[in-house]
A = this chain, B = another copy of it.
Amino acid sequence: MTFNNVVVVGGGTLGSQIAFMSAFHGKNTTIWGRSDGSLDRAKARVARWEEAVKKDIGATDQQVKDAEAHLHYTTDLKAALKGADLVVEALSEDPDVKNDFYKKFSDLADPDTVIVTNTSTLLPSEFADATGRPEKYLGYHFANSIWKNNTAEIMSQSKTSKDLPKEMEQFSREIGMVPILVNKEQPGYLLNSLLVPFLSDALVLWNNGVSDPETIDRAWMIGTGAPLGPFAIMDSIGMKTMYDITKMSTNPEVKKASEKFKTMIDQGKIGRESGKGFYTYPDPDFKKPEFLK
């Protein structure tokens, strides 16, 4: 089955990016928002993604215009769901908010409509039954700036049908993503299951005074040939996200590192986007040849 009519529920950072890339690739796409205010904020975000795709992937004005023609906005859920093939739930990470939506969705949507959740931190199985179609439901996780960091992790829960991951794989390719199949529920999907503990281990080494961020990055870069060490990766994630991740950690040594991120944020060292984090951009030391010598 090909998904042509796509509804994205919630126009936040990721929701608006998913909707925009879906429209950009010719899908008839609707962003549903709770209020006119939330739709206005979604539109402002989409305007930023329009500039970003021109800059980052060389999109033309015409392509952006075509995307706009495919992208619709509504606060009317019933109208949005009419004829929808695929609904991408991208609401806030609050179980009550999600359950409340799924109940409405279950009542209003056609039984054939597929629904996927963009949750990062909750597990799809928590909500599968609330959707009224657990076999047509799975987790669908993106990186940020999805037009260039174009992974789409497709994570089944125990009741997901065998066919749905394949259909989502096809849809992902159609909207310019590289599908990454996650065969069973795994908190953090694949990338964050590897990345979060990796960054945490580096933070613990730093926190315990074993070494400093630059030396740790150098060891990783020389040892594995990677273009970025863990602290350079944190710069690209941004200190606000790192603060949120570490603050929630169950490992007290990692949790302690959240204080360091708070200090960095207070000092305006917010990460690559702000020009300063562990390194100074746009010419960070780790890109200089002498860094590895």
Residues of A near any B CB (own CB < 8 A): 143, 149-151, 153, 178, 180-184, 186, 189-191, 193-195, 197-198, 201-202, 205, 208-211, 215-216, 218-220, 222-228, 230, 233, 292-293
Would A224 and B215 count as touching, CB distance under 8 A?
Answer: no
Q: Knowing A178-B218, A197-B201 are in contact, say whether A210-B190 is a contact too (CB < 8 A).
A: yes
User: Most B CB atoms within 10 A — which of A195, A202, A228?
Assistant: A195
| Inter-chain contacts of A143 with B (CB < 8 A) | 223
CB distance from A188 to the nearest CB of B (A): 10
CB distance from A103 to the nearest CB of B (A): 30
| Inter-chain contacts of A230 with B (CB < 8 A) | 194
Would A184 and B209 count as touching, CB distance under 8 A?
Answer: yes
| Inter-chain contacts of A222 with B (CB < 8 A) | 149-151, 178, 180
26 contacting pairs across A/B (C-beta < 8 A): A149-B222, A149-B223, A150-B222, A151-B223, A178-B293, A180-B211, A180-B219, A180-B222, A183-B210, A184-B209, A184-B210, A186-B205, A189-B219, A190-B215, A190-B216, A190-B219, A190-B220, A191-B219, A193-B201, A194-B201, A194-B216, A194-B230, A195-B220, A198-B198, A224-B226, A226-B227
| Inter-chain contacts of A194 with B (CB < 8 A) | 198, 201-202, 205, 216, 219-220, 230
| Inter-chain contacts of A182 with B (CB < 8 A) | 210-211
**Please, how many angstroms separate the alpha-carbon atoms of A195 and B183 in the complex?**
25
Besides A180-B211, A184-B210, A195-B220, 10 new A-B residue pairs in contact (Cβ under 8 A), listed by A number: A149-B222, A151-B223, A178-B222, A178-B292, A181-B215, A186-B208, A190-B205, A198-B198, A225-B226, A225-B227
Copies in the complex: 2
Q: Which residue of B lies closest to A218 (CB)?
A: B180
Would A186 and B210 count as touching, CB distance under 8 A?
Answer: yes
Point out the residue from B197, B219, B224, B225 that lies within 8 Å of A153, measured CB to CB.
B219
Would A183 and B201 count as touching, CB distance under 8 A?
Answer: no
**Please, how many angstroms separate the alpha-carbon atoms of A211 and B220 in the complex?**
25
**Please, how many angstroms separate the alpha-carbon atoms of A210 and B158 in the complex?**
12
CB distance from A122 to the nearest CB of B (A): 17
CB distance from A156 to the nearest CB of B (A): 10
CB distance from A143 to the nearest CB of B (A): 6
| Inter-chain contacts of A150 with B (CB < 8 A) | 222
CB distance from A238 to the nearest CB of B (A): 15
Point out the residue from B193, B195, B197 that lies within 8 Å of A224, measured CB to CB.
B195
Would A224 and B216 count as touching, CB distance under 8 A?
Answer: no
Would A180 and B215 count as touching, CB distance under 8 A?
Answer: yes
User: Most B CB atoms within 10 A — which of A150, A218, A292?
Assistant: A218
Q: Which residue of B lies closest to A151 (CB)?
A: B222
CB distance from A115 to the nearest CB of B (A): 22
